[in-house]
Amino acid sequence: MRAKCSLLISCLLLLLLPIVAAADSVDFFPCVLDHSYALDGYGDYKEIDLRERYRASAGSHQDDDLMLESGSAIVLDQSILILDLHFSDSFDYQANSTAVPEQLTFFFNPAPNEMQVTVFPDRDDPYAFHYFGSFNSTMTQIDICGSYTDSEGELRDCFSLRNLILPITSGVESADFFPCVLDHSYALDGYGECNEIDLRDWHRAAIDNWELDDLAVESGSAIVLDRSVLIIDLHLSDSFDFEANYTEFPERITLYSHESEVFTEEMLPVWRVEIFPDEDDPYAFHYCGTFNWTMTEIYMYGNDGESLGGFSLHIAVY
């Protein structure tokens, strides 16, 4: 376990070393086709040209103008997934009765979903979308859906790349790479800054429970490394009586960078992720992925956050 955790820290560090150090948000998406990731220390990597996949799905010929200018998906050591999509700024969206997506949603193993991530445009480039995060080798399929808000305020589909089969070698176990341990010296792993939160204590304070009563959260931690990597490890109690406490055990946890109900121009969510239980432990939820340092608040909701009395936890990471 410790060896696997150290492996992920090393992999993430290798990925981040060339570009860490800036005070602003880190641009750490080296999602380049035909790059020798072996030189970066990865023993195995797979890649997909998303533009060519989109061309094939749309039935377009070589010289046709495409909505998708470029795109790539890279899987590193069957544990890290990077997606990079750039939409064309010269494509005639109006003539093609579509629009540039305002958000992209990735559905992993769509039926049933193992994870769902919604990402928003690069703040410096409205045509660019990036994702970098942990990866389970059982996630062999992904649907990518783009949407925009029409003049009547309705969310409309405008881009689709479905049934994308990720090039995973079968039979290899995914690494257990959530080294989300409080009071661990991440400086020894090469990180200059570490911010951490004890989610159990945060949950206790949120519900004004200062006694030793049983809590819905048995243990949990949120770690931000160098303002660029976020790791969450949440374990719910198997002895807590959810029903007696007028709540429910979540089938999934949804993470938001802002309130789920807020979609005003000033408060557009920067990031939204749905995570599902550990395949070996229904009480454990993990997440590891890129982090935008402007995301100072994260909301956790059990399921979709719409059920009254469902699990919720609001944390401030700085």
Q: What is the pLDDT of residues 131-164, one digit of tens each?
A: 877 676 667 888 999 999 888 888 899 999 988 8
Residue 200's CB is within 10 A of a number of other CB atoms, namely 19
**Pairing, β 297-302 against β 141-149:** unpaired
| Rounded CA separation 305/203 (Å) | 16
Q: Does residue 295 contact residue 267 with C-beta atoms inside 8 Å?
A: no
pLDDT surpasses 80 at 129: yes
Provide the pLDDT for residue 160: 93
Average pLDDT score over residue span 50-64 = 83
| Rounded CA separation 166/141 (Å) | 6
Q: Which of 7-16, 122-131, 307-316 has the lowest mean pLDDT?
A: 7-16
pLDDT surpasses 70 at 130: yes
How confident is residue 173, by pLDDT bands cut at 50, 70 and 90?
A: very low
For 207-264, the DSSP string reads TT--SS---SEEEEEEEEETTTEEEEEEEE-SSS-TTTTT----SSEEEESS-TT--S
Provide the pLDDT for residue 146: 94
Beta strands across the sheet bearing 284-290: 45-49, 68-76, 80-87, 128-134, 284-290, 229-236, 217-225, 194-198
Provide the pLDDT for residue 254: 83
Provide the pLDDT for residue 227: 74
pLDDT surpasses 70 at 309: no
| Rounded CA separation 236/239 (Å) | 9
| Rounded CA separation 268/265 (Å) | 6
Average pLDDT score over residue span 63-71 = 88
**Pairing, β 194-198 against β 68-76:** unpaired
Name the most confidently modeled range: 174-178, 192-196, 203-207, 219-223: 219-223
Average pLDDT score over residue span 163-179 = 56
Q: Does residue 142 contact residue 119 with C-beta atoms inside 8 Å?
A: no
**Euclidean distance between the first and the last CA atom of the chain, given in angstroms as a whole number:** 29
Closest C-alpha to 115, from 299, 281, 276: 276
Closest C-alpha to 183, from 206, 201, 170, 167: 201
pTM, whole model, 2 decimals? 0.58
pLDDT surpasses 50 at 296: yes
Per-residue burial over 250-264, b if 16 or more Cβ lie within 10 Å, else e, is bebbbbbbbeeeeee
Q: Does residue 230 contact residue 251 with C-beta atoms inside 8 Å?
A: no
How confident is residue 308, by pLDDT bands cut at 50, 70 and 90?
A: very low
pLDDT surpasses 60 at 252: yes
| Rounded CA separation 81/132 (Å) | 6
Q: Residue 108: CB partners within 8 Å, gap ≥ 6? A: 114, 115, 116, 117, 139, 141, 142
Name the average pLDDT for the chain.
74
